[in-house]
Structure 1
Amino acid sequence: MSARRVRGVEVRGVDVGPETRCAHYAGERDVIALRFGCCERYYPCFACHEAVADHDAEPWPRARSDEPAVLCGVCGATLTVDAYLDAGFVCPACDAAFNPGCAAHHDRYFERP
């Protein structure tokens, strides 16, 4: 396991880099970390949570969608789920590009109605 502080927020995972890239997702646009509902900790991806946490993953609860659950690894902005989903794969604070492929995994990260 590695943990890294990214703009003051601890991000846990496997080989976490300074912009939240990890051993599983290390592309140029892989610059977010996600907060899990089970432990309220940030991880770069589901596989990192699976590799280092001692419990099963649970997505961020819909009832808490007004709380920060996504961290931009470039600028450190924290976004609510709705703000992240509405941002069009670009950080609204710094314009860093986010990986659009993450949309295929939203159900692992965010509880949706």
Structure 2
Amino acid sequence: MKDRPVAVVVVVQTADGIDKVLVVPMTTTRPSKDQAAIEVPDAVRRQLGLKADRSWIVVSEWNEFSWPGFDLRPINRKSGEISYGALPAGLFRRIRDAIVAGAAGRPIDRDA
């Protein structure tokens, strides 16, 4: 399985105090016709430190897991850092709205 950055869309704390996160993948592969995706603007890509020329956030594929989860990998193994940084509010709203507009089914539960 390939490690890839994700955008955290929502965090919900369960009754037993566990944080559950819903995430969507970020990829350098142009989305297929059956995938809904939002291209990451160049300035945001540079701000986050993403190295590829182009990146997309795939809003039609989402995962859910407990935070922190076994799926998290450090970006920098020396520091253990796991965050590329925050998305600008406008881009986050576009992601959120696209997920809500296309919401069919449920996220894949990575804890199961």
Into which bin does the TM-score normalised by the smaller protein fall? under 0.3
* TM-score with structure 2 setting the length: 0.26
| Greater Rg over alpha carbons, structure | 2
Greater strand percent: which structure? 2
TM-score normalised over the length of structure 1: 0.26
Richer in helix (by share): 1
